[in-house]
Amino acid sequence: NAGVTQTPKFQVLKTGQSMTLQCAQDMNHNSMYWYRQDPGMGLRLIYYSASEGTTDKGEVPNGYNVSRLNKREFSLRLESAAPSQTSVYFCASSRSSGYTEAFFGQGTRLTVV
């Protein structure tokens, strides 16, 4: 009963480095999402994938790219990390579009120095 699994849990990057955050869900959900959480800002949507094979920009997509590798996996890539990308990143999934519940992973705490 893993639900949504994110790796890594913690990461420190130097400015300009790249990295990929991995996310996998085992609930056979169609839709997956990447959010960032910053103090006083709530959760902001970076990118989402409504179904396998599709991805779309959310509220704050600049500096990020995503790949929906298959139905289970949705990765987030930072090509050239900046200090402004220091945040906690959450992956989530939901059964489909509509008002179904979204399930969140435990988060990745990323620090860019």
Partner 1 sequence: QQQVKQSPQSLIVQKGGISIINCAYENTAFDYFPWYQQFPGKGPALLIAIRPDVSEKKEGRFTISFNKSAKQFSLHIMDSQPGDSATYFCAASKAPGGYQKVTFGTGTKLQVIP
Q: Which residues bind partner 1 (CB under 8 A)?
A: 4, 31, 33, 40-45, 48, 50, 56, 58, 90, 92, 94, 97-107
Smallest distance from the beta carbon of 68 to partner 1, in angstroms? 14
Handedness of CA 9, 43, 21, 69 (dihedral sign): positive
φ/ψ of residue 50, rounded to 5: -65, -30
> What CA–CA distance (Å, rounded) separates 5 from 83?
25
> What CA–CA distance (Å, rounded) separates 90 from 54?
19
CB-CB neighbours of 101 under 10 Å? 8
In the bound state with partner 1, the residue whose beta carbon lies nearer, of 19 and 43, is 43
In the bound state with partner 1, the residue whose beta carbon lies nearer, of 33 and 85, is 33
Smallest distance from the beta carbon of 49 to partner 1, in angstroms? 9
In the bound state with partner 1, the residue whose beta carbon lies nearer, of 41 and 113, is 41
Smallest distance from the beta carbon of 98 to partner 1, in angstroms? 4
Smallest distance from the beta carbon of 81 to partner 1, in angstroms? 22
φ/ψ of residue 84, rounded to 5: -65, -10
In the bound state with partner 1, the residue whose beta carbon lies nearer, of 19 and 45, is 45
